[in-house]
Amino acid sequence: MMRRLTVPYVLFSIWVVVLCMLPFVESSYFVHLATNIALFTILAQSWNFIGGFSGYPSFSTAAFFGLGAYAGAITQNMGLPMELAWIFATVLVSALAALFGFILLRLRGHYFAIGSIAIVEVLRLAIASATDLTGGGNGMNVRFLPGGPEYVGMVFLYTMVGLMVLVFALTVWVDKSRFGFGLRCIRQNEDAANMVGINTNLYKIFAYVLSASFCGTVGAIYASWTGYIDPTDSFEILLTLKVPVMAMLGGAGTVIGPVLGAAAFSLLEEIFWANFLEYNRAILGVVIVILIFFLPRGLLNLDYHTLHRRLRHNAGRNPREPSE
């Protein structure tokens, strides 16, 4: 039992070490890829608080990511130090998420999903319209971190990995806490949870804010990393769809599932992008549909022992021997 409990932590620790070692053994391409994987891992872990533990299908990831990106970029261009700009973006996104959550979390199921995805479009249009402040559709530049590309790559890789570790530790706490138990009760039967004394509205809003705050932080770090943002890229609908798929691919509502799903999805996407440039989106879509139908509970819930026994049985059976 103890061994099964420690395996996810050991695997995550090994994964962190691998990502941190890349700047010393591989080219800048792999450093960029590792930073992207860490970024999506944070987003998938963040979505897991509201979508995995509590079972509310939120599609507002891109809204808070984009809002954090613009909040961080604007304040940084105004002269605020980069780290303080990230903190400001996190606080602003958390406050707005509490407001949106208070309104939206009165809805359930498909109604909540539609309401959450509408936030993405509303914020995108608002940012695109504020031309004097945000540059509108032309986007805006963000001051680059001095020090050269290799140094900048290492800084943002370690920043993303550090935040990934922080969110993982918070996920472990939620998984073992009374708060996490309450969220699971909401996922199973919200009305029953409310009847036994769980403040379901408060729990849901807190989970929503927790999810949104890290999306805002990642958005602000992303703006500083890339040096340029625009409304179309920052509030991309595809982003708000990919993140839940990543969490569900690994196993929503688990500790290590979003980490596994984000890594697997990012690597698959990179392979398809490199080898099937014209058809990568279509191929990736087909793969997603297949994974959802055949792995509805994620990679972590596969019975690998049974699968391994069947493969060994089929490999050891005489090809001429008829199957039963």
- Length of the chain, please? 324
**Does residue 321 lie in a domain region?**
no
Give a yes or no: residue 127 inside a domain.
yes
Q: What is the pTM of this model?
A: 0.89
Q: Is residue 59 part of a domain?
A: yes
CB 139 within 8 A of CB 124: no
Spatial distance between the Cα atoms of 308 and 313, rounded to a whole number of angstroms: 9
Torsion 312-318-323-324 (CA) sign: negative
Task: Answer yes or no: is 82 within a domain.
Answer: yes
Please indicate, yes or no, if residue 324 is contained in any of the structural domains: no
- pLDDT tens, per residue, the chain with 324 residues: 445 557 778 889 999 999 999 888 878 889 999 999 999 999 999 999 999 999 998 999 999 999 999 999 999 999 999 999 999 999 999 999 999 999 999 998 889 999 999 999 999 999 999 998 999 888 999 988 888 888 999 999 999 999 999 999 999 999 999 999 999 999 999 999 999 889 999 999 999 999 999 999 999 999 999 999 999 999 998 898 889 989 988 888 899 999 999 998 898 888 877 777 677 677 767 767 776 677 766 666 654 445 445 555 565 555 455 544
Task: Give how many domains the chain has, as a whole number.
Answer: 1
86: containing domain: 2-316
Strand stretches in the chain, DSSP E: 140-141, 228-229
In a domain, 8, yes or no: yes
Instruction: Identify whether 322 is part of a domain.
Output: no
